[in-house]
Structure 1
Amino acid sequence: MNITPARIESMFRSGAIICRILQCAISITMLLISPACAQQSFDNVAGSWSGSGSMKPSDGPRERVRCKVDYIIKNAGQSVKLNLRCASDAYKMELSANIDQIGNMLSGNWFESQYRQGGKISGKNDNGLIEAKVESDTITALLTVRTKANRQSFVMESPGAWVSQVSIDLFRDQK
């Protein structure tokens, strides 16, 4: 059997192509696995939390508000269902939301039953800091939620909405 230089070059070229394909496959696999390993989760908020703070209605003075929130974690920590109840002397709010997370990106929906409003949620979760945008046909609000150990702070800004600012400190309820 006589192997010509052109045939040897073709074999090396084929081997190099196969090697490149394997390198690409390994790189893609590592990229897919790495985010899954480093992925944020909602596990640090699981359970019931309660606390107080203040809210600023657009048509009146700042009011004290008391809140309770239950976080139900699903999908191996990548989804959360939350039920939030808040009350001041003049207002009552009952909000539920379903939020999913892919990597550190958040998406989901919400509904407030007292005022019959709902919409979508989008944002990101980076190491216990959630920055999100809540939207409906009539409002847009920016949220910042920080969770550290058994303490959580919640700040909402929504200029022009019926409640323009909310600030609440929550603590994990003892079991």
Structure 2
Amino acid sequence: MTAVVAITPACAQQGFNHLAGTWSGAGSMKPKDGPHERVRCKVDYAVKNEGQSVKMNVRCASDAYKMELSANIEQRGSELSGNWFESQYRQGGKISGQNVDGLIDAKIESDTITALLAVRTKGSRQSFTMESPGAWVSQVSIDLLRDAR
């Protein structure tokens, strides 16, 4: 099980305020033992502490898989830290990383999973890629758009 996490501050901003709301999109995922699959995702962001923390809920589904992930992330300076839990596969762990010039480089870890993420936001668009060699999902690439408020 590899969790998909979208952590995405914008270029000129150092907090999470601009993420508040719901984002939706699609992309592809590569199961360890199968072909790429189309996946659809919805991400809800609830921003707290003057933009320095965010609670996010991520729901993704393909024809064969479903994922429901929640995360709490704090930002201090450019450093990110937090925790995550995925309810379908009952996995959880830590999030660490950096937000520098609108690019998030993050790592999610548990006892059995390590995944590296690269995430960008530009205006009302977000994109991220995830690599987790050896995990049940080894690659994910998703593009999200901010839903109308």
TM-score clears 0.5: yes
Distance 1:129 1:39 in 2: 11
Q: Is the 8 A contact 1:39 1:103 kept in 2?
A: no
Q: Is the 8 A contact 1:67 1:86 kept in 2?
A: yes
Q: Which amino acid aligns with 1:149?
A: G
Q: Which amino acid aligns with 2:30?
A: K
Distance 1:134 1:72 in 2: 20
Distance 2:50 2:74 in 1: 11
Q: Which structure: larger Rg?
A: 1
State whether structure 2 residue 97 is matched by structure 1 residue 97: no
TM-score (norm 1): 0.77
Residue from 127, 134, 137 that aligns with 1:160:
134
State whether structure 2 residue 110 is matched by structure 1 residue 136: yes
Q: Which amino acid aligns with 1:98?
A: N
TM-score (norm 2): 0.90
CA deviations on 1:107-131 (whole Å, 9 max, x unpaired) are 0000000000000000011232211
Distance 2:57 2:21 in 1: 11
Distance 1:71 1:145 in 2: 15
Distance 1:39 1:56 in 2: 32
Q: Which amino acid aligns with 1:104?
A: S
Q: Is the 8 A contact 2:83 2:94 kept in 1?
A: yes
Give the corresponding residue for 1:50: 24
Give the corresponding residue for 2:52: 78
Give structure 1 stretches of 5+ with no counterpart. 1-37
Distance 2:13 2:46 in 1: 18
Number of positions where the alignment pairs a residue of Structure 1 with one of Structure 2: 138
Instruction: Quote the offset at 1:39 in angstroms.
Output: 7.6
Return closer, same or farther for 1:47/1:138 CA change in 2, 3 Å cut-off: same
Q: Which amino acid aligns with 2:80?
A: L
Q: Is the 8 A contact 1:48 1:69 kept in 2?
A: yes
DSSP-derived class of the 2:14 partner: coil
Give the corresponding residue for 1:148: 122
Equivalent positions of 1:1-150 (< 5 A) are: 40-150=14-124
Give structure 2 stretches of 5+ with no counterpart. 1-11
Larger relative CO (CA 8 A, sep 6+): 1 or 2? Answer: 2
Q: Is the 8 A contact 1:57 1:163 kept in 2?
A: yes
Return closer, same or farther for 1:46/1:127 CA change in 2, 3 Å cut-off: farther
DSSP-derived class of the 1:90 partner: coil
